[in-house]
A and B are shown apart, each in its own frame.
Chain A
Amino acid sequence: MEQLTSFGMFKALQERIVSESCPEIPTIVVPAGTCGQASGALELIRAAHHHILKNNLQARIRIRATGCHGFCQAEPSVYVEPFDTFYPKVDPARMKDIIQAALEGRTVEDLLYVDDAGGERIERLQDIPFYRHQKRTLLSQNERIDPLEISDYLKIGGYTAFAGLLADNDPARIIEDVKRSGLRGRGGAGFLTGAKWEFLARQADGKGKIIVCNADEGDPGAYMDRSLLEGNPHSILEGMLTGALATGADQGVLYVRTEYPLAIRHLNNALRQARELGLLGKNILGTGFHFDISLVKGAGAFVCGEETALMRSIEGKMGEPRQRPPFPVQKGIENKPTLINNVETWANVPVIFRMGVEEYAATGGGEETGTKIFSLVGKIKNTGLVEVPMGTPIKDIVFNIGGGQSGKGGVKAVQTGGPSGGCIPAELFDLPIGYGSLAKVGSIMGSGGMIVMDENTCMVDVARYFMNFLKGESCGKCFPCRKGTQRMYELLDDIAAGRGTPGHLDLLEELALVLKDVAMCGLGQTASNPVLSTLKYFRDEYLEHIENKRCPAGVCKALIHFSINENCTGCGACVKVCPEKAIKGERKQQHVIDAGLCSRCGSCKGVCAFDAIEVR
C-alpha cells in the first residue's frame, strides 16, 4: 500500500473507497467482540462463510465481523444492511435462511426480536426499545466498520476531521474548540479536556511531550472502553493524533490492560495500518508533523488506572501512585510533560470535529455535554452497553432501555462508579446523570459502570464485596489505605456473619470518613464511597443484620436458611442440583431440606420453577 504524502492523496483514497463500496449489496453484520465471541459469533461467521462459498454468493452478499454493538444480551446476533434488520440469539444453522432472505430483500419472521412488553415482532434495529431510547454517536460507528480494516474507517469519514485540522495547522484553535465543546474526561473525574490540553500545550517544548490513552479499565463490571478499543480502534488513534497536533506532543502511549487480548490485537493491527498509510510516524501527510504511538500492556492492577501509578507502570516499575504536585503535565513519564485521557474521551474528539462543535455542545444537559456510554449490567433484563446524552434520568436508562429488573424482585438501587462509587437507591432514579449530580448523592460517574441491584442483592454484601476488592487492589503504600480497607472489610464481614454490634457501625463510619481525608491517591480517597453510600441509604439493612441477625435479601450465608414450602410439586429439579445432597422427598411429594447438610449455596432456588424454595 502506498504512503499518503499529501492531502490530495488522502482525499483521493477516501473518495475511491467510498465510490467502490457498493452500499446496495446486502451486508450481514455480526458483532464479534469478546462478548460476541463468547456467545458464539464466530460460529455464525463460519456458517455464513460456508453457505456463501458453497453457493458462490461472494458477489451478491457481504459479511462484516465488527466490534460490540451494545446489546450483549441478544448475542450472538445478526444485523443486516441496508435493511436494518436485527436478529437476536441466532442459531448458526439458521444463517443460511438469513442470507437467503437478505438476498431477496425479505426478513426471516420467526427469528425477529420479540418485545416482551408488546409481544410483537420488531424488524428494525432502531425500533427496538433497547436501541430506540439511546443516542449512539460513538457506538453506532461499531456496526459500520470492520475494526481490522482501516478502509472501513476511512469510508465512514474517519481521519477526515484530523486531516482537515492538520491542513489548518492552528493548534490554539483546536484547544479552543475542544473547550467550547464542553467535553469532560470520561475516565471518572470529569475534568475539562480542553483545559487539560491547554496545560500541556503551555509546557515548554524541548524535552518532548507525551500523551497517553488510559485503557486500563479496571472498574469491574464496566466494559465500554473495551468495546471502543475492539470495535473502533482508529477513532482512538484519530483522537490522539488530534490531541498531539493541539498540544505539540510527539509521542503517544496506549496503556491497555492485559485482560483484553482482542483489544490489544486490534490496536496493534490498527497502529500498523495507520503507519503504513503514513497517518502515524514521521512527516504525516507531507506536513512535517511527527507523531507515533506505542502500545504498553498492563499486567493486572486496578490502581494502575490512577494517573501517577499508570506513569510508573509505563516506565516498567511497580504501579505505586505518588503525591501530587508535581502533576503529570509538569513531570510525567521519564520526567517529560504527560497528558492522560481516557479511551472514551479520545474517541469523542473526532466526533466533536465531525459533527461540529456547536452541535456537540448542544447535546446533553446544560454544562455537561455529549453522550456517555454506560455498561448496564447486573439484575436487569437488557444487559449491555447503552449510550445516552448527559443529563438523561437514571430511570430512563434502567426502565426504558434496560427493560427493568431481570428476576422477580424489583430494582432496589444502581451502583455507579465501581469500587470508587456508591449505590443510588430507586427513590432517586429521577436524577439526571452527570458528574455533578452523581457526586451530590454520594456516588461518582466513574468510568460508566452501572450495576443494577434488586431485592435479592444485599447491600452489606455489596459493600463487603467492594472492600474485599479494594484491600487487594490498594497498592499498599499508605498505611491508612492498606489497613483501613482491611479493617473495613473485617467489620463488614463481622456484620455479614452476624457478629455485628452497633459499635461496628460507628467505627466503620468513623474510619471511612478519615480514610477519605488522608489517603494519597484517588483509590484510597474514594474507597469509602461504597460503605458510606450504603450506610446512608440502606442503614436499615445494616441494622437488620446487626439487631435481628437477619439478611433481608437472603444473601449473607450465616444469617439465612433454606426451606421448601407447599408450592413444591415434587418435580425433583432441586435434588439434582444440590451439591450437598441435602434435599430429600418422594416424587410428586413436597420435598424437604436437611438444614444440617445445606451449605446455602442457592442452587435449588435457581432451578425451582414453582417458587417453592424459601430463604429466611
Chain B
Amino acid sequence: MVTVTINGLDVSVEEGMTILEAARFIGFPIPTLCYHEGLSPYGACRLCVVEIGEAPRSRLVSSCTYPVEEGLKIRTASKRVVQARRMIIELLLASCPQSKTIQDLASAYGVRTQRFKQEYEDCILCGLCVRMCSEQMMAKAIGFRGRGTERSVGTPFDIQSDVCRLCGACMHICPACQLRCTYNEPEKAICNACANLRPPCLEKEQYDDMMCYMDPCVACEIK
C-alpha cells in the first residue's frame, strides 16, 4: 500500500494502481476518452490529466498511465487542469462535433463554442478500437497508419483484412460515432437508416457521411 494525497485527502491505495484508478476508487471523477477498463492504458487523449507535485514545480500528467507513488500530491480538478481539459474539449468539438460522447463532455465542462475551423472528422485516434481488436479479439486486423496529421486507423492497404473476425467490437467501442455500434441494435440508432440497409451503408458517398472509417467498412462486409 502507498499513501497519496488526492485533492487534500490522504488515502492509502494499492501499489501499482494508476492515479486514475486510485481517484475513481476514492470517488473523485476524472473524465476519460481513450481509457477503457478492459484494455491497456494508452494515454493519448490527455483528457484525464491531473496536476501532481507542488507549485511551482507541479506538472500535469495523464492519470490513466501514471502509477501512484508514495507521498504523491495529486489534484484532479485544479484550475490548471480544468483549463487544459476545456481546451482539449474545444479541440475535440472542432474536429468531431457529431459525437454524442464529446457533446456530453462539452456540456459537462461548459464549453459552448469552439473557435477553430470546423471539421467533421470521424475518428479522434483514441486507439480504443485498435486495442480492442488486438487485446480482446486477438485479431490485429486494424492498426495505426502514418504519423502526424496523416495518422489514421484502418486495415493495411485499406482493403478488407483477412484476419478480421467481423465481430464489430471496434465499432461498438468507438466514442467518435454512435452510428457504428448501432446497426445491430436498431432501437439505439439515431436515424435507424443503417439498420434497414443490408449491407448497412449502400453507397460510398453515403457512408462517408456516416463517418465510417474503414474502406470498405467491415460492417458492409457482413452479408
Note whether A and B contact each other (Cβ less than 8 A). Answer: yes
Residues of A with Cβ closer than 8 Å to B?
A: 301, 303, 318, 322-323, 325, 471-480, 482-487, 490, 503, 507, 510-511, 514, 517-520
- For residue B117, CB closer than 8 A to chain A, the reply is yes
B145: nearest chain-A partner, CB-CB: A318
The interface residues of chain A, by DSSP majority, are classed as: helix
Cβ contacts under 8 Å, B146 to chain A: 476
Cβ contacts under 8 Å, A519 to chain B: 46
Selecting from B147-155, B161-169, B206-214, the interface stretch reads B147-155
One of B33, B42, B148 near A476 (C-beta < 8 A): B148
29 contacts between A and B (CB under 8 A): A301-B147, A322-B43, A471-B148, A472-B147, A472-B148, A472-B149, A473-B147, A475-B151, A476-B146, A476-B151, A477-B43, A477-B127, A478-B45, A478-B46, A479-B33, A480-B88, A482-B151, A483-B91, A485-B148, A487-B94, A490-B117, A507-B115, A511-B87, A514-B83, A517-B49, A518-B49, A518-B84, A518-B88, A520-B43
A518 CA to B61 CA, complexed, in Å? 7
A471 CA to B44 CA, complexed, in Å? 16
A520 CA to B47 CA, complexed, in Å? 12
Q: Are A479 and B149 in contact (CB under 8 A)?
A: no
Residues of B with Cβ closer than 8 Å to A?
A: 33-34, 42-46, 49, 59-62, 65-67, 80, 83-84, 87-88, 91-92, 94-95, 115-117, 124-127, 144, 146-151
Q: Are B147 and A476 in contact (CB under 8 A)?
A: yes
Q: Are B66 and A474 in contact (CB under 8 A)?
A: no
- Cβ of A525 to closest chain B Cβ, rounded Å: 9
A487: nearest chain-B partner, CB-CB: B116
Q: Are A479 and B124 in contact (CB under 8 A)?
A: yes
Cβ contacts under 8 Å, A322 to chain B: 43
- The winner among A471, A473, A480, A511 for most chain B CB atoms within 10 A is A480
- A323-B43, A325-B67, A479-B124 given as contacts; is B87 within 8 A of A486 (CB)? no
Q: Are A476 and B149 in contact (CB under 8 A)?
A: yes
Cβ contacts under 8 Å, A482 to chain B: 125, 148-149, 151
- Cβ of B151 to closest chain A Cβ, rounded Å: 3
Q: Are B87 and A514 in contact (CB under 8 A)?
A: yes
Cβ contacts under 8 Å, B91 to chain A: 479-480, 483-484, 487, 511
Cβ contacts under 8 Å, A301 to chain B: 147
Cβ contacts under 8 Å, A484 to chain B: 91
Q: Are A478 and B117 in contact (CB under 8 A)?
A: no
Q: Are A323 and B62 in contact (CB under 8 A)?
A: yes
- Cβ of A394 to closest chain B Cβ, rounded Å: 27
- A480-B91, A482-B151, A483-B91 given as contacts; is B115 within 8 A of A503 (CB)? yes
* Given A474-B147, A503-B115, A514-B88, 14 other A-B residues pairs in contact with their CB atoms under 8 A: A323-B65, A475-B148, A477-B42, A478-B44, A479-B124, A480-B87, A482-B148, A483-B94, A485-B148, A517-B49, A518-B60, A518-B88, A520-B43, A520-B62
